[in-house]
């Protein structure tokens, strides 16, 4: 039987791959998508959109179900809920389709690495209304209390539009870190790569 999938975008920082972060997609693609150097190509320059909060929460619920299934299998195999390679191998042996499920692979690797880090996709999650993004983060933390770090991408102009109170709200909700692609502090270079930002914005 096929496992229910949650939506996963194409991009995350290398540091989030090394730690096998859980990927939660809050926005689709990039709101700017004009940088000459950029991975707008993995997005296929598709239209940017913000996902509804309820839809993102449904994805988190699917992650929880997959996580519970993996932990349950661990219990049945006598590992006491601990996730190891044998647990994954046994699950795939029973259901080979899991080997091709991006959702299962992401959750399994996340749990295998400790289940502590999350990356909120795609390119500029802070463009969401602050209360909506904070609600998503709080729901994520409530569903998985052991999460220690939640990270996202943001454009410098988007961050600059947020008030200090909004930034504090996101931090209090559980947002730990932002990756902001400055690329350069030189105005000519920024114009050349069509960054859509100035040194002053940065």
Question: Residue 110: left if φ>0, alpha if ψ -120 to 50, beta else—which one?
Answer: alpha
Half-sphere exposure of 18 (CA within 13 A, CB side): 3
Contact 117, 15 (CB under 8 A): no
pLDDT value of position 191: 82
Please give the pLDDT value at position 188. 80
pLDDT < 70: residue spans in the chain: 1-2, 18-19, 39-45, 186, 199-202
Residue with tokens 């509804």: 52
Neighbours of 91 (CB within 10 A): 20
Take residue 138 and report the two structure tokens written for it: 């709080």
Query: How high is the pLDDT of residue 118?
Result: 97
Q: What is the pLDDT of residues 121-163, one digit of tens each?
A: 998 999 999 999 999 999 999 999 999 999 999 988 899 999 9
């Amino acid at each position: 039987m096929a496992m229910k999938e949650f939506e996963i975008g194409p991009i995350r920082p290398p540091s989030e791959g090394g730690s096998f972060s859980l990927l939660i997609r809050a926005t689709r693609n990039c709101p700017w998508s004009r940088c000459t150097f950029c991975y707008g190509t993995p997005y296929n320059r598709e239209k940017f959109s913000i996902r509804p909060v309820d839809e993102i929460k449904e994805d988190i619920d699917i992650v929880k179900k997959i996580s519970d299934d993996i932990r349950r299998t661990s219990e049945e195999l006598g590992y006491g809920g601990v996730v190891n390679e044998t647990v994954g191998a046994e699950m795939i042996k029973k259901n080979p389709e899991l080997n091709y499920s991006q959702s299962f692979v992401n959750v399994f690797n996340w749990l295998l690495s400790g289940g502590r880090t999350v990356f909120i996709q795609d390119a500029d999650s802070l463009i969401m209304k602050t209360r909506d993004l904070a609600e998503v983060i709080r729901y994520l933390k409530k569903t998985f209390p052991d999460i220690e770090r939640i990270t996202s991408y943001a454009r410098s102009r988007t961050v600059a539009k947020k008030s200090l109170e909004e930034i504090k709200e996101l931090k209090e909700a559980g947002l730990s870190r932002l990756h902001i692609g400055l690329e350069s502090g030189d105005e000519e270079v920024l114009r050349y790569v069509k960054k859509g930002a100035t040194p002053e914005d940065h």
